[in-house]
Amino acid sequence: MSYPGATAARSLRRLRVGGPRPLSAYGRKISVRFCSSGMTLDNINRAAVDRIIRVDHAGEYGANRIYAGQMAVLGRTSVGPVIQKMWDQEKDHLKKFNELMVAFRVRPTVLMPFWNVMGFALGAGTALLGKAGAMACTVAVEESIAHHYNNQIRTLMEEEPEKYQELLQVIRKFRDEELEHHDIGLEHDAELISLLTQRSPSPARPGLCLTTEALTFQGKCDFKIGHHPKMMPG
């Protein structure tokens, strides 16, 4: 058996027997026992969990590509460290969902090639408009991702929240960090570019609309989009 295959097998074996399995969250590690909350491969709502993990993995992958594009253009400017800090958090998010994809045997979305190309192009394209353009992109995308997280929280709470408490913990933490990115964007002139593009639409606007619509399409069959993310549960 190859090394990656052996690692995946050990992870699944620990999950079945209820052994402690570290959840890597941003800046810390959380030790959990899945069986303490009844969350095993056999007694969860596999359809709901599969959809949640697949949608979130795609969203975090797309966000990583967007920040990569922004850093390619603005990495050496004064806003570079701000973008890098947000990107580092997104890398942690993606790493966690990569682990969950293996643990719960979830297949990635067929839109991965789209996110790879479109995400980077959107990040670079909005960054060419300057700091305000990049931050306007951040605000729009992070708000969409936070909406999905909130609807997923609602879905799991309507199931059996005690059973899904570890997954809820991950989603809530990542949701809060996405909202921090949203607010950072507003603090760095994102609203300014919104006002400008209302009078003179930017060439990046079609890409931004397409990407946020694709995020909605990715999860619309699973989760209903709600109101402002800060008004949601958790």
* Residue 93 labeled ligand binder: yes
Instruction: Mark out the alpha helices in 128-189 (DSSP H runs).
Output: 131-158, 165-187
Which residues are within 8 A (CB) of 25 and not within 5 positions of it... i.e. 6 or more apart? Answer: 92, 96, 169, 170, 173
* Residue 99 labeled ligand binder: no
Phi, psi dihedrals of residue 189, rounded to the nearest 5°: 75, 20
Q: Scanning the structure block, which residue is given the tokens 């800060």?
A: 230
The C-alpha atoms of residue 206 and residue 208 are separated, in whole angstroms, by 5
Q: Are 131 and 186 in contact (CB under 8 A)?
A: no
* Residue 181 labeled ligand binder: yes
Per-residue tokens: 96: 């966690």
* CA 1 remoteness from chain centre: 31
Residue 212: how many other CB atoms lie within 10 Å: 18
Q: What is each CA distance from 124 to 67, 102, 119, 145, 148, in whole angstroms?
A: 8, 31, 9, 19, 24
SS3 state at 47: helix
* Residue 148 labeled ligand binder: no
Closest CA to 8 of 94, 95, 100: 100
| Residue 28: its H or E element | strand 28-33
Positions at the binding site: 60, 90, 93, 142, 178, 181
Positions at the binding site for Fe cation: 60, 90, 93, 142, 178, 181
